[in-house]
Amino acid sequence: MAEQVINPDLNFVKDIIASGGDTLKKCFQCATCSVVCNVTPADKPFPRKEMIQAQWGLKDKLFSNPDIWLCHQCSDCTAYCPRGAKPGEVLGAIRKLSIQHYALLGFLAKAVGSPKFLLFLFALPAAIFLIITISIGSLWNVPRGANGAIVFSKLIPVNYIDEVFVPTALFASIMFAFGILKYWKDMAKNATQASGSNIISAIIATVTGILLHSGLKKCDLTKTRCKSHLLVFYGFGGLFIATNLSLFYLYGLKWESPYPQTDPLKFFGNGGAIALIVGITLMILNRLRNKEKAGLGSYFDWLFISVIAVIGVSGTLAQLLRLAFSKMAHMFYRATAMVFAKYSGRGESA
């Protein structure tokens, strides 16, 4: 038998424990988790082997192991584990550390995973927009329309928002692509078997699986997760289309908002927002309902869920309030005029 050199990293074990995998050491390698997992391949199944690799601190083996990302954290294994070792949660913690490991700007990935930096992460974009409003003077001279009402769209003109977000999104995408490339190289270096398919058919099969969420459909305990994930996934799809349509309208057609409610942009935007809000609500309810058996999830999971919920709710409220205020202003002005007409003795029309 070939000799294997093991390089344990005890700090990595501590990191897993601190990232939500605090039950890690309870595992006694019974393999029940690998038996009940409906997602794992039969050959070298997970998550039992990952549990021992994690206990031994085999960081490099775990990070270059595609199996940690084949897990959908459905928690079937956690529900059946006789020791309460919560393998689903442990794999979730390893995935979080893997993102930090491959991120080119590791400190930003660490900040996202730690509650200590929550305030900083929200304060940073707020500070950027405060600086913009101060520098263009709209904080002191609030832009107003002909009727004296504040024109919110001119507080920070759209081009300033785009000039901040488009380069930031491009920068994040490039950093992300470098991280993914590094991860692919590590997997290829440590692969124990020759490739079994060509890359194009592997990509087509993967994209089809993602579009249908076929992996999640196999899970038992949290079956409803599939519906909520699909709603969130396609909700984001609708919002992505709406965002690109708005860019096309603004910069391609030179057509500024507001757009009519019958426009395709509104169809994708509103439909996407509804799907996102319903999906994320189901996701939260599902987690709370199964918290005893499946675990409540880590800070990282809840930050992600909360950010999605806030995006969906704040975007929808912004539109509803804008509509409501324009209609309500209309209603109040009309009612005031009617009261004044009656008060001043202005007669009814014949």
Residues that bind ligand SF4 (CB under 6 A): 27-33, 37, 39-40, 46-48, 51, 71-77, 81, 83, 85, 87-88, 91, 219
In the complex, the smallest distance separating the C-beta of residue 217 from ligand SF4, rounded to whole angstroms, is 12
In the complex, the smallest distance separating the C-beta of residue 263 from ligand SF4, rounded to whole angstroms, is 41
From CA 305, how far away is CA 246, in angstroms rounded?
26
Q: CA nearest 40: which of 10, 82, 70, 1?
A: 70
Span between the terminal Cα atoms of the chain, in Å: 105
From CA 95, how far away is CA 298, in angstroms rounded?
12
Q: Helix 264-289 crosses helix 224-247 at what angle (to 10 degrees)?
A: 150
Cβ closer to ligand SF4: 81 or 309? 81
- Radius of gyration over every alpha carbon of the chain, rounded to an integer in angstroms: 26
Number of residues that make up the chain = 350
Cβ closer to ligand SF4: 100 or 290? 290
Cβ closer to ligand SF4: 29 or 314? 29
In the complex, the smallest distance separating the C-beta of residue 35 from ligand SF4, rounded to whole angstroms, is 8
CB-based contacts of 217, cutoff 8 Å, min separation 6 = 223, 226
Cβ closer to ligand SF4: 37 or 58? 37
Per-residue tokens: 305: 């869920």
Report whether 87 contacts 81 (CB < 8 A): yes
Cβ closer to ligand SF4: 37 or 232? 37
In the complex, the smallest distance separating the C-beta of residue 297 from ligand SF4, rounded to whole angstroms, is 12
In the complex, the smallest distance separating the C-beta of residue 288 from ligand SF4, rounded to whole angstroms, is 18
Q: In this structure, what are the phi and psi dihedrals at residue 144, rounded to the nearest 5 degrees? A: -125, 150
Cβ closer to ligand SF4: 12 or 268? 12
Q: Determine the distance from the C-alpha atom of residue 334 to the mean position of all C-alpha atoms in its chain, rounded to a whole number.
A: 44
Cβ closer to ligand SF4: 154 or 217? 217
Report whether 176 contacts 189 (CB < 8 A): no
Largest CA distance in the chain: 105
Residue 141, burial from CB neighbour count under 10 angstroms (0-12, 13-18, 19+): exposed
Cβ closer to ligand SF4: 34 or 100? 34
| Residue 346: count of CB within 10 angstroms of its CB | 11
In the complex, the smallest distance separating the C-beta of residue 85 from ligand SF4, rounded to whole angstroms, is 4
What separation in angstroms does the CA of 281 have from each of 288, 302, 311? Answer: 11, 13, 13
- 3-class state of residue 72 by DSSP: coil
Cβ closer to ligand SF4: 293 or 342? 293
Residue 36, burial from CB neighbour count under 10 angstroms (0-12, 13-18, 19+): middle
- 3-class state of residue 150 by DSSP: strand
In the complex, the smallest distance separating the C-beta of residue 237 from ligand SF4, rounded to whole angstroms, is 24
In the complex, the smallest distance separating the C-beta of residue 80 from ligand SF4, rounded to whole angstroms, is 7
